[in-house]
Structure 1
Amino acid sequence: MNSMNRPYVQIESENKISTLRHHLEKMLPEFEALPGVVGLTLNGGLSRGYADHLSEIDVTIYLTSEAFVDWQLSKPPIAVGITKLAGQLYDVKYVDFAAESARDWNDTELWDASYAEILFDPEDLLHSVFAEKLADRPEPGKAGNLLMSCWWYFRLTGDSWIHRGDVLQGHYVFNQAVTALVQALFVANREYIPHEKWLLHLSRSLGWTPENWEERLQAAMSTGDLTVESLKSRQITIASLWREIDRYIIENYYPHLPVHMMQKTTYERLKLLAKEGSISKGEWQMRTGSGVPGGDPFYSIFKLEDDELIFDLQALLAIDEDAMYDWHYEVLRAVKEDLQKG
């Protein structure tokens, strides 16, 4: 993937990337000559344009399946893991090219691969696989679960520990909230989510960030004077950032969504049930990817008869906000308003 206009490293200390890349260039013939090598990639900090005296050179060796088994069952022809080669620290990993091509890559792997530099690819195999794996940028809808996680930490759990007065525990859960919040910000930009080692740093160079991001990010991370008031202040900051990221995603990608991103899936499923009126268990599972709903906001507004989910409109209309948890009622109310609009 082209790294232009993507999150980048902004560190003022001396960048020793030229020195480390020169060392790598001298080592490349040795890597390329290893038995069974399909290709080589440069990963890690160097691939993102920065190195210092604490950096190692991350190299991934892609092997044929036969060579991969040989390397595992005998002493590899080169030291792997964290190791010094010709006086320079490397982190060498070897993988089965065929297996890597076939499996799904997780978020961190996709992020790392999106910056990786292909060093050796004589048959153009790595270029093909990387192009396939990185063809689709993260979907904005993925932010829903992250924003739900953030909300759970800063609102539900945060309220609990503010009330209970355990300041350290409260700040701990707010740390979890900030992680999910910043991850959602990357998805809002349709960027791969970085490893947590780089999460906050790279967020500063995203294409879109909430207003005064640096200042507010510091406030979201600040434990203040470790009092209950510091928890309240931090919660307010995280909540405001949460609302801004949620609003940005909805306005730019789902302008007709009447609920928060964290409620999007539940809203769409409830709307489907209301629209269809009756839907078989098999079709429900096929269209929603879930089994028969066993909780709110569904539980009171449908019946299960002969393997059919039967929507009960009158039951939905009769439910008021005191009969259901706020989160669920907001979704139900949105569907109720949709039905009233026709």
Structure 2
Amino acid sequence: MKTLDELIRDLGAVAGELAVGPCAIALGGSHAKGVADAQSDIDIYVFAESWLPDAERVALLLQLLPNAAAARSWSAPPEQAGTDFALDGQEIEIWFRQLAPIAGIVARSVAGEAVRRYVTWTPNGYYEHCALADLTSLRVLADPRAVLTPLLERIAFYPPALRTTLMRHGLVSAGFWRNNFHLETALARADNYYLRSIAQQIVTDLIQALFAINRAHFPGDKKLSTHVGKLADVPENFMARVEAVLGGEGTSAAWRARFAELYRLVDEVAALSA
């Protein structure tokens, strides 16, 4: 039976056959980040300008890996595509990415631009700079034409301009809502849905500031407690306190206590950014 490293090496070689022209192959996702568990899939990334059409990728994959099950492909042209399958019970995803859009994200992030968009698959919004966490955690398996390596070198160190932007933006919503009339009336009414949305907004922004303070790339909401636990400069019991703020009873008194705790967290994070 193959070791995990042997399987990853072989999957990388197969993935390269599905690309057209020069490409770089890398291991990404939870296995590259060191947070994989029994439920984790294996993510292989192919960075190229082009790749085989969906049906051809599936056909070639089944030739190269006859034991692959439930193979399927998808495309979101022109920037990305994927081929997913299972091998001996292990879920595997091969992601195809054009480099030009990624290079654009890197350039904007290095320049200090923080772009956030609403997309369905990430409830708190998609932060472009989240891609930097994926890129810096990649384990490059092959890059013979150096199509990916120069891009990774640009973000070997956390971009100072991005750090400044995120530390500033991460405290804006907290500043807006502090002593705000609409928050005060919501607290008086125990307007649960509205209060939860305000608290979530403040927490979401605060977490962006916290990662920037630590010069750590925000990896997304999945397994966030694990990632926050690796940060050096963080308020004591940060995630436990966040979870207490976002949960609990819905009375006016309970909400006032939770927002008081939330603003203690805000002040502690602000002190770290000073």
Same fold (TM over 0.5): yes
Report Cα offsets for 1:22-44 as digits up to 9, x if no partner: 43233232223344241111111
Match of 2:67 in 1: none
Q: Does 1:96 align with 2:121?
A: no
| CA displacement at 1:125 relative to structure 2 | 2.9
> Given that residues 41 and 117 in structure 1 are in contact (C-alpha distance below 8 angstroms), is that contact kept between their aligned partners in structure 2?
yes
Q: CA deviation at 1:72?
A: 5.0
Aligned counterparts, 1:144-293, within 5 A: 144-152=168-176, 156=180, 158-221=183-246, 223-250=247-274
Q: Distance in 1 between matches of 2:179 and 2:135?
A: 35
Q: Deviations over 1:242-272 (max 9, x none)?
A: 111112212xxxxxxxxxxxxxxxxxxxxxx
Partner Cα separation in structure 2 for residue 162 and residue 147 of structure 1: 21
More helix by share: 1
| SS state at 1:209 partner | coil
Distance 1:47 1:31 in 2: 17
Structure 2 counterpart of 1:319: none
CA contact (8 A) 1:182 1:200 kept: no
Q: Which residue is equivalent to 1:31? A: 15
Q: Which residue of 1 aligns with 2:143?
A: 121
Mapping for residues 325-336 of structure 1, pairs under 5 Å: none
Does residue 49 in structure 1 map to residue 49 in structure 2?
A: no
SS at match of 1:103: helix
Conserved 8 A contact 2:245-2:258: yes
Q: What CA distance in whole angstroms lies between the structure 2 residues aligned with 1:155 and 1:42? A: 47
Cα distance in 1 for partners of 2:178, 2:27 equals 38
Instruction: Go from structure 1 to structure 2 and tell me whether the alpha carbon gap of 1:37 and 1:52 turns closer, same or farther (over 3 Å shift).
Output: farther
Whether the 8 Å contact between 2:8 and 2:27 is mirrored in structure 1 is no
1:238–1:153 Cα change, 3 Å: same
Percent of aligned pairs with the same amino acid: 22
Paired amino acid for 1:203: V
Q: 1:21 to 1:152 in 2, by over 3 A?
A: farther
CA–CA distance in 1 between the matches of 2:54 and 2:30?
Answer: 31
- Do the aligned partners of 2:83 and 2:95 also contact (CA within 8 Å) in 1? no
- Larger Cα-atom Rg: 1
Q: How much is the aligned-residue C-alpha RMSD, in angstroms?
A: 2.7
Matched letter for residue 10 of structure 2: K
2:266 partner letter:
W
SS in structure 2 at match of 1:123: coil
How far apart are the structure 1 equivalents of 2:219 and 2:185?
A: 30
**TM-score normalised per structure 1:** 0.59
For 1:19 and 1:234, the matched residues in 2 are separated by 48
Partner of 1:62: 47
Q: Higher RCO, 1 or 2 (CA under 8 Å, sep at least 6)?
A: 2
Retained in 1: the 8 A contact 2:41–2:93? yes
- Match status 1:142 vs 2:144: no
Tell me, yes or no, if structure 1 residue 109 matches structure 2 residue 140.
no
Q: Mind listing any 5+ residue stretches in structure 1 that lack a counterpart?
A: 1-17, 251-342
- For structure 2, the 5+ residue unaligned runs are 62-71, 74-81, 107-127
* 1:167–1:228 CA contact under 8 A, matched in 2: no
| Residues 28 and 73 of structure 1, relative CA distance in 2, 3 Å threshold | closer
Shift in alpha-carbon separation, 1:226–1:163, aligned structure 2, 3 A: closer
Q: Deviations over 1:155-182 (max 9, x none)?
A: 5353341133312331232122211112
SS of 2:148 mapped into structure 1: helix
The count of aligned residue pairs is 227
Q: Deviation per CA, 1:103-156, whole angstroms, max 9, x where unpaired?
A: 224211011112111111113332211112444434234211121023335653
Q: 105-114 vs 71-80, which deviates more?
A: 71-80
Q: 1 or 2, which has the higher strand percentage? A: 2
CA distance in 2 between partners of 1:166 and 1:208 (Å): 34
CA distance in 2, matches of 1:54, 1:168: 32
Question: Residues 214-241 of structure 1: CA distance to partner in whole angstroms, max 9, x if unpaired?
Answer: 54334333x2222112211110111011
